[in-house]
Structure 1
Amino acid sequence: MLAARVIPCLDVNQGRVVKGTNFVKLRDAGDPVEVAARYEAEGADELVFLDITASHEARAITLDMVRRTAERVFMPFTVGGGIRTLDDAKALISAGAEKVSINSSAVRTPELVSQISRWFGSCATVVNIDPKRVTKTDEDGNEREVWEVHINGGRIPTGLEAVAWAKQVEELGAGEIVLTSMDCDGTKDGYDLEITRAVSEAVSIPVVASGGAGRPEHLADAILLGKADAALAASIFHFGEYTIEQTKRVMADRGINVRMLV
């Protein structure tokens, strides 16, 4: 059985790591390269960098940050935000990223998922999905709750339903999905286990649970109850509430296979 991964997420805005609640109310959490180096020393399995305003501001990710990170850390890291073309992905991989993650561009230009997958392989192709629970009325006037995919940092609803979209991106060539519940993001009340499990059971590629971690037990729940392959967290690590080692020990105590520092 593969080890479950613990992945700190570094949301980057204007060159700084930030963290908010429900995608707003951002707080500064430090320099991205220094934070990345600290997490590697603490035993993180991977990192995810997300430039949270690149798509909204229609600009590219700062390649210098990616290069400096690659010079300092040796663990794999994924970079996302503002990737609109295959050339954007090529530049990030060349700068040192192991994987690239797309969200808004995947919705607007689904063939980009296939292009990146064909060029770099599915293992380097990640799709971020940001769903929010909304109530919709069908043609018969019946109301039902759905998980609607949002893009541009959660600003724009797409009409896509998260589980169906997850299946589609797998068919397009994605090798991993990062699933961030907009309802739970930053709340520290735990992941949305229902949608995490629904997506995990609907696809055969790894799913990374994201949005809502408040304590180590939540990461364990994501693996055991949400059926995720990895758990991503930000606030609990950025502001010193828990360490990577503490989190992994809690997970190991619940029978989860995790990689511990020797």
Structure 2
Amino acid sequence: MALLCFQSLRMLRSGIRCMSQNAQLVSLTVNDKTGVATLSLQRPPVNSLNLELLTEISSALTEATDNNSRGLILTSTNDGVFSAGLDILEMYKPNLDRVKEFWTKLQETWIKLYQTAYPTVAVINGHSPAGGCLLALSCEHRIMVKNFTIGLNETRLGIVAPPWFIASMVNVIGQRQSERALTLGHMFTTEEAKNVGLIDEIVQNKAEGTTQAEAFIQKFAKIPFQARSLTKTWLRNKTVESLVKNREDDLNMFLQVVTQPNAQESLGHYIQSLKNKATK
């Protein structure tokens, strides 16, 4: 089970746990001509996934569904980081009620994104480790800007990605490539990611990526929506159902791991190492 996560040096240095309750951590816009929605992550400085950000992502996905969106582009307002993964401060010396809500919201958000009826494209305009990689893997098509990295690198922190993280990668690049990447905690360059099929296209910048994302979604314009969405559901149902049937066990396993003294010690050392780097 994973404790994934990264946190920005600036946020650790300032001691900020989360944004103001009034701050908008995502934006959802819709192209009136195409009906395609764009969901942009905008939690400074690195879109680390805390409870509040996950809640807003989940709500935005529901809104896109309720508005009968024809497709969704997931991206970041930060050209440099798509998402740095789960917020480590959610798991270090956690409040038990909050950390339960945090993990449950992560499960919910992944389920919603993974099984949307409309087509989804990740425009990855920055580094995308751990939980950031999971968001990208959950989309149907991935477009990545050059000179960044992506991967499920949990083992480098001495932790383990949960089964549904692993399944998300296996479904994209296969068992062998996933086994090697996950056990090594490998972060793929943009070119490496394209070579193994982790991403589908390489672009020079976010604007080009958005154009290509719109073009991908447009391919489905003449495909009956219900037939397309049911096909996607059946293809992905086994992976989703595995978590749905075991959500409580998954939560309990996470709580068991995250509250272990050695896990807390490891997280503490990791946070301190980031603080030390920030002061150099």
> TM class, shorter-chain normalised?
0.3 to 0.5
TM-score (norm 2): 0.31
**Structure of greater Rg:** 2
Q: TM-score, normalised by structure 1?
A: 0.32
Structure with the bigger percentage of helix: 2
